[in-house]
Amino acid sequence: MMAQSFETGQSLQEIAELDHGRFGRIGIPEAIYAPGKSAAQLVGLAAEMLEVGKGPVMATRANLDQVAALRARFAQCWVYPDPEEFPSAPMSVVVSRVATRSGLVGILTGGSTDLVVAGEAAATLWACGIASETIADIGIAGLHRLLSKMERIRSYDVLVVLAGMEGALPSVLGGLVSNPIVAVPTSNGYGASANGATAMMAMLASCAPGISVVGIDNGFGAACAAIRILNSSAAIAKAELP
């Protein structure tokens, strides 16, 4: 029986065609992008994905009403950031995750304001069974903060590096470490920061070679890039086994 949206009367099949095979095909799940959807539509889509059960189930950029609806329908939702502490922030909701696998991703932020986007990356990795650690507020305004953590930073398999303002942190790291770096420009900053456009252009124009750059505030996309890197590393390691 087709689920109906309470607001539009349309069936879910009329508003979305879920790609149930994406996780098995490319190792990255289809996430439900919450903006523009009613709470009922979001719950219905999550329920359909959970019923098929071939990959993790998560929603990105959810608001308070959508989070409340998901929590009411599914008993084991994991939400970041905490809705009580950040009620106006876009939230990532993991309804179901896959088994834990190898790999450790370091999520590094230039400032504490980048943590909401960092949380989207962490939630995506967690849904896919990949552990991550976040090191916050190590931007270049106080370079000693970064340098004091270099030993730990070098231990990660992949780095997701977030920065607003002039977006210099990924470039600095790109000249110091051999880890794969996925850079995320964030929309934090004043005036000429231009809501993240300056950081994005700086990252794209980086003098440090080999840095990958995703769109502004795209924590989900950065996590997916990290997953692709880990998947390729795992495939190479498997092929090299005697």
Domains and CATH numbers, the chain: 1-98 (3.30.1370), 99-242 (3.40.50.1970)
pLDDT recorded at residue 238: 55
Which tens digit of pLDDT belongs to each residue from 191-229? 999 999 999 999 999 999 999 999 999 999 999 999 999
Let me know: does 183 contact 204? Beta carbons within 8 Å: no
Range 99-104, long-range pairs (CB < 8 A, 24+ positions): 99/129, 100/129, 100/130, 100/131, 101/128, 101/129, 101/130, 102/230, 102/234, 103/130, 103/131, 103/157, 103/158, 103/230, 103/233, 103/234, 104/130, 104/131, 104/132, 104/133, 104/155, 104/156, 104/157
State the Cα torsion 33-36-41-42 to the nearest 10°.
30
Q: Cα separations (Å) of 230 from 21, 133, 158?
A: 20, 15, 8
219-239 helix and 115-127 helix, angle to the nearest 10 degrees: 40
Torsional sign, CA 3, 99, 232, 121? positive
- In terms of Cα–Cα distance, which of 197, 171, 195 is closest to 183? 171
Give the 3-state secondary structure of residue 129.
coil
Q: Where are the beta strands (DSSP E) in the chain?
A: 32-33, 57-62, 78-80, 91-96, 104-109, 131-135, 158-163, 181-185, 212-213
Query: Percent of the chain having pLDDT more than 70?
Result: 88
Tens of pLDDT, residues 49-64: 888 877 899 999 999 9
Residue 240, pLDDT above cutoff 60? no
Given a cut of 50, is residue 154 above it in pLDDT?
Answer: yes
The tokens for 108 are 């590094």
